[in-house]
Structure 1
Amino acid sequence: MRRILIAIVIAGALTAPAVPAQESLSKVSGSVTAEAGKQYGEVSTVNGSVRVERGATVGGEASTVNGSITVEDEARLGSASTVNGALRIGAGVVVEGEATTVNGALTIGEGSRVAQDARTVNGRIVIAGAEIGGDVRTTAGDIELQPGTVVHGDLVVEKPSFSLFSWGNRSEPPRVVVGPDAAVHGELRFEREVRLFVSERATVGRISGAEPIRFAGDTP
């Protein structure tokens, strides 16, 4: 009987359809698109934009060097990063790792979740009712946490390095807004001058390096 069962299992394994490997898209020049509803390994380019269409899954990283990244609603990906370009994440998106830019804006839509950090160096961050599992970080960009946003880590504006700012460059201080019903469970830490506005209805942790200006309405 045992031999018969083993033979049946082996026969089933031989006749079962093969599971196709996840396709990866990679270019040096030109845009790439992860099509709606399909599954991919990694999606990347060097000089071009990346688009992850609605409901697509990218198991690895969506990345580019010189170009923007657009992630449409209800997509899922491992992580997203660009150097010179904006990163736009729609509503209901799941990012299992980080969402990062260097020179470009970062926007994250309602109901999305980024499991690790959301960060940029020179670019505005706008989080519209999303959940961030790690930190929110920038060096020279504004930060706006809109109603319903939850940050489980810290909110940090880092001190610029000499490679980013020369002694003669007196940049405008970043503007940081923690809106109504937003929450930062970690520390709000500012290593350079900022203008900090915190709603009276927001929940925030310890604040260091800045004096908050409280506001009662929807916006400062």
Structure 2
Amino acid sequence: MRQFPLPMLFALLLPIGSAWAVEDVSKVNGSIKAEAGQGYGDLETVNGSIRVGAGATTHSIETVNGGIDIEEGARTGSVSTVNGKITLGPRVTTDGNVETVNGSIFADRGSQIDGGVETVNGGIGLVETRVRNSIKTVNGDITVGIGSQVEGGIHIEKPNFSISLSAPRKPRVIIGPKASVSGELKFEREVVLYVHRTATIGPVHGAQPIAFDTDTAPAD
């Protein structure tokens, strides 16, 4: 039987495009671009956006003031920002949570999030995406779009409103065609909950589901 030198053997076992070691990229001011098809460690910046090219692999991704854009077929660890939106392209896999405070989160077809999805002030949208844990927000709308699966339920927390003369806006929660939400749907504030007739959901607490059978939910 042919024998390979040990370094060559390890190289044969690594996925195509992998390197012996991956380097972290860290900045204070400035954006970060992970090139398509390349491998990286942690990507971190304070004031700047982060873009991960198609098919790239990274460890965790984190910024404070900036958006995060992960392109088709990339694989990452946890993804988080404070002030910025997060966009996952088609067939993206994250091995941790996807979180933002002030910004939206969107995951496109074929993506898988092996953690939870969480915002405070920002909408959450999924299209044919699987979330292994829960979805949480305070003030954001939620759309579990066509064919999506959420395995840990949905939780909208009670906001800490300051004194206001106007009534707070009710978040819209839409469970779309052939989507499923396992676990509890728990609402600690008033929401408008639309559930497509082909969707399946767990027990609901704090809201009355409104059934619909059109491609999109009714406008409020």
TM-score by length of 1: 0.89
Structure that is richer in strand per residue:
1
Rounded to whole Å, the distance in 1 between the matches of 2:7 and 2:137 is 53
Rounded to whole Å, the distance in 2 between the matches of 1:177 and 1:106 is 15
Higher mean alpha-carbon deviation, 41-50 vs 152-161, is at: 152-161
| Secondary structure in structure 2 of the residue aligned to 1:84 | coil
| Secondary structure in structure 2 of the residue aligned to 1:65 | coil
Does residue 140 of the first structure (1) align with residue 139 of the second (2)? Answer: yes
Does residue 97 of the first structure (1) align with residue 93 of the second (2)? Answer: no
Alpha-carbon RMSD: 1.9
- The percentage of counterpart residues that share the same residue type is 45
Cα pair distance change 1:89/1:180, threshold 3 Å: same
Cα pair distance change 1:17/1:152, threshold 3 Å: closer
Cα pair distance change 1:167/1:94, threshold 3 Å: same
1:168-199 residue CA offsets vs partner (Å, 9 max, x unmatched)? 16321100000010000111110100011111
Query: Mapping of 1:1-220 within 5 angstroms?
Result: 12=5, 20-58=20-58, 60-161=59-160, 165-168=161-164, 170-220=167-217
The answer for unaligned runs of 5 or more in structure 2 is 12-18
| Secondary structure in structure 1 of the residue aligned to 2:30 | coil
Cα pair distance change 1:32/1:195, threshold 3 Å: same
The answer for unaligned runs of 5 or more in structure 1 is 1-8
After TM superposition, what 4+ stretches of structure 1 lie above 6 angstroms from structure 2?
14-19
Rounded to whole Å, the distance in 2 between the matches of 1:117 and 1:14 is 38
Structure 1 or 2, whichever has the larger Rg, is 1
Rounded to whole Å, the distance in 2 between the matches of 1:105 and 1:25 is 24
AA matched with 1:177:
I
